[in-house]
């Protein structure tokens, strides 16, 4: 089911919009560096970084949502104050003009332990459905702290964040305009009415977990016979309500074949998704005692799929693929407070949802101190991203 709320632009339009976008970035750089040469230098370096992280060699696909354009899942749409803040922070990381403190870009923020599903890969498994620790006032405090440190994208997760739907909406209404908010969800219970309220509250997009194109295999992985139906309905409702739609896939050993990836791409296209985020399974949470690592040949399959769909002309009309494993292996991880971190359902901070060894709790220790410790310890699996 296609909608008119989010559409991919053709190549000439994308090229024109990218020129305008780069010009706006140049103006930001000029204000910060007071030098055209320095502004050009930082934009050149940012362009090289974009190609490294996104695996895109030419003009990226642009998805128009309302009056804004999106080309990367973890970046705010343009034009917006959030977009300006994001690239101001990236410029500062590239050629520093302010070294007074951390400049976060992205935070994954769990607001609940509740969930109706029993997913095989759940990284909150040990905390799931235990006593809720975070009151709404705690959620407000965490939101305020991460925004003060520059976060331009905040991803609200759980558990299942729809279990605290009213709180999720209230948080969005209190967020600064310099931040894009996304909801990470299984889709369980996301009616059109709720999707429309999320949009009205201020959410930019929604990331629905769909772990197989095959209904039965998805339901088995998620531990609920209605999971696939709800995920697909949630994706349709979100798109119709005007939210930017992404799908998130945990690519297991059983799933990872070229055939499955292209079947999944077809499903995502039919749902009018803009992005597909491919995550590798990790031995954390419910998978903690299981060897779930993909083989090198499977890494290669995903990487080739990622580059092919993002760059070849015949896939120009299809969703953009996000595959963190590709740049993590070559350039390092963006987590561990380099650019993002994970706040779990009790307020403990971690390098990311899949690297959990917390130095402390946001509600008990100043966040700046915790981020210092995260940066020192780094990612457990990969080196820190080389700026």
Angstrom distances, CA of residue 157 to CA of 3, 115, 184, 301: 26, 11, 5, 29
Q: Summarize pLDDT for 285-295 with one digit per residue, the tens.
A: 777 777 888 99
Model pLDDT, residue 116: 84
Environment class of 67 (CB within 10 Å of its CB; exposed 0-12, middle 13-18, buried 19+): exposed
Tokens of 32: 């910060």
End residue of a domain, out of 36, 62, 90: 90
Residue 46 lies in a domain: yes
Task: State whether 51 and 115 are in the same domain.
Answer: no
Residue 1 lies in a domain: no
Task: State whether 206 and 305 are in the same domain.
Answer: yes
> Domain containing 67: what range?
6-90
Q: What are the beta bridge partners of residue 20?
A: none
Task: State whether 38 and 137 are in the same domain.
Answer: no
Residue 252 lies in a domain: yes
**Mean pLDDT across 16-25:** 95
- Whether the Cβ atoms of residue 285 and residue 244 lie closer than 8 Å to each other: no
Task: State whether 71 and 193 are in the same domain.
Answer: no
Task: State whether 69 and 170 are in the same domain.
Answer: no
- Whether the Cβ atoms of residue 361 and residue 341 lie closer than 8 Å to each other: no
In this model, does residue 329 exceed pLDDT 90?
A: no
Residue 283: CATH number of its domain:
3.20.20.70
**Mean pLDDT across 215-233:** 94
Q: What are the beta bridge partners of residue 153?
A: 106, 180
Task: State whether 47 and 169 are in the same domain.
Answer: no
In this model, does residue 4 exceed pLDDT 60?
A: no
Residue 233: pLDDT band (50, 70, 90) is: very high
Residue 386 lies in a domain: no
Distance of CA 238 to the CA centre of its chain: 16
- SS3 sequence, the chain? CCCCCEEECCHHHHHHHHHHHHHHHHHHHHHHHCCHHHHHHHHHHHHHHHHHHHCCCCCCCCEEECCEEECCCCCCCECCHHHHHHHHHHHHHHCCCCCCCCCCCEEEEECCCCCCCCCCCCCCCCCCCCCCCCCHHHHHHHHHHHHHCCCCEEEEECCCHHHHHHHHHHHHHHCCCCCEEEEEECCCCCCHHHHHHHHHHCEEEEEEECCCCCHHHHHHHHCCCCHHHHHHHHHHHHHHCCCEEEEEEECCCCCCCHHHHHHHHHHHHHCCCCEEEEECCCCCHHHCCCCCCCCHHHHHHHHHHHHHHHHCHHHCCCCEEEEHHHHHHHHCECCCCCCEEEECCCCEEECECCECCCCCECCCCCHHHHHHHHHHHCCCCCCECCC
Return all residues near 384 (Cβ < 8 A) that are at least 6 apart: 332, 333, 336, 338, 375, 378
Residue 183 sits at the vertex; the CA angle it makes with 177 and 185, to the nearest 5 degrees, is 180
Model pLDDT, residue 338: 85
* pLDDT-wise least confident of 89-93, 160-164, 212-216, 327-331: 327-331
Q: What are the beta bridge partners of residue 78?
A: 69
End residue of a domain, out of 90, 117, 151: 90
Residue 282: pLDDT band (50, 70, 90) is: confident
Residue 1: pLDDT band (50, 70, 90) is: very low
In this model, does residue 11 exceed pLDDT 70?
A: yes
Task: State whether 12 and 86 are in the same domain.
Answer: yes
Residue 101 lies in a domain: no
Model pLDDT, residue 109: 95
Task: State whether 148 and 24 are in the same domain.
Answer: no
Question: What's the CA dihedral at 68, 69, 70, 71 to 10 degrees?
Answer: -160
Residue 74 lies in a domain: yes
Cα–Cα dist 258/178, whole Å: 39
Task: State whether 80 and 177 are in the same domain.
Answer: no
Question: What percent of the chain shows pLDDT beyond 70?
Answer: 97
Model pLDDT, residue 54: 75
Q: Summarize pLDDT for 294-327 with one digit per residue, the tens.
A: 999 999 999 999 999 999 999 999 999 999 888 8
Model pLDDT, residue 101: 67
- What's the mean per-residue pLDDT of the chain? 91
In this model, does residue 24 exceed pLDDT 90?
A: yes
Residue 126 lies in a domain: yes
In this model, does residue 2 exceed pLDDT 50?
A: no
Cα dihedral 373, 386, 381, 153 sign: positive
Task: State whether 206 and 120 are in the same domain.
Answer: yes
Model pLDDT, residue 254: 95
Task: State whether 121 and 20 are in the same domain.
Answer: no
In this model, does residue 28 exceed pLDDT 80?
A: yes
In this model, does residue 249 exceed pLDDT 80?
A: yes
Angstrom distances, CA of residue 49 to CA of 5, 107, 177: 30, 20, 26
Cα–Cα dist 36/30, whole Å: 6
Model pLDDT, residue 98: 87
Residue 376's CB: how many other CB atoms inside 10 A? 10
End residue of a domain, out of 59, 90, 121: 90
Residue 297's CB: how many other CB atoms inside 10 A? 8
Residue 175 lies in a domain: yes
Q: Model's pTM, two decimal places? A: 0.94
Task: State whether 141 and 56 are in the same domain.
Answer: no
**Mean pLDDT across 363-386:** 84
**What total number of domains does the chain contain?**
2
């Amino acid at each position: 089911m296609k909608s008119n709320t989010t559409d991919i632009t053709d190549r000439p339009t994308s090229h024109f919009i990218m020129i305008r976008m780069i010009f706006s970035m140049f103006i930001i750089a000029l204000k910060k560096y007071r030098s055209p040469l320095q502004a050009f230098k930082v934009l050149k370096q940012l362009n090289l970084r974009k190609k490294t992280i996104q695996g895109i060699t030419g003009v990226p696909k642009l998805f128009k949502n309302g009056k804004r354009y999106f080309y990367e899942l973890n970046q705010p749409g343009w034009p917006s104050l959030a977009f300006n803040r994001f690239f101001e922070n990236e410029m500062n990381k590239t050629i520093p003009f302010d070294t007074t403190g951390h400049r976060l870009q992205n935070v994954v923020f769990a607001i609940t332990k509740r969930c109706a599903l029993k997913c095989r890969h759940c990284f909150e498994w040990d905390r799931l459905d235990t006593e809720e620790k975070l009151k709404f006032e705690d959620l407000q405090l965490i939101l305020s702290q991460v925004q003060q440190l520059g976060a331009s994208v905040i991803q609200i997760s759980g558990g299942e964040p729809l279990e605290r739907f009213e709180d999720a909406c209230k948080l969005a209404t209190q967020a600064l305009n310099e931040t894009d908010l996304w909801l990470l969800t299984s889709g369980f219970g996301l009616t059109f009415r709720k999707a429309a309220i999320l949009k009205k509250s201020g959410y930019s997009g929604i990331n629905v977990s769909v772990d197989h194109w095959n209904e039965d295999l998805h339901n088995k992985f998620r531990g609920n016979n209605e999971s696939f139906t709800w995920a697909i309905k949630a994706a349709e409702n979100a798109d119709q309500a005007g939210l930017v739609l992404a799908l998130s896939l945990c690519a297991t050993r059983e799933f990872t074949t070229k055939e499955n990836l292209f079947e999944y791409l077809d499903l995502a296209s039919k749902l009018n998704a803009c992005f597909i985020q491919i995550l590798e399974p990790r031995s954390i949470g419910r998978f903690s005692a299981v060897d779930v690592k993909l083989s090198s040949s499977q890494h290669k399959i995903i990487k080739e799929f990622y580059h092919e769909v993002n760059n070849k002309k015949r896939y120009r009309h299809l969703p953009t693929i996000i595959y963190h494993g590709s740049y993590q292996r070559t350039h390092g991880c963006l987590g561990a407070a380099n650019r993002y971190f994970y706040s779990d359902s009790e307020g403990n901070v971690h390098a990311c949802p899949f690297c959990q060894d917390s130095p402390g709790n946001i509600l008990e220790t100043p966040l700046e101190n915790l981020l210092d410790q995260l940066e020192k310890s780094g990612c457990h699996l990969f080196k820190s991203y080389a700026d």
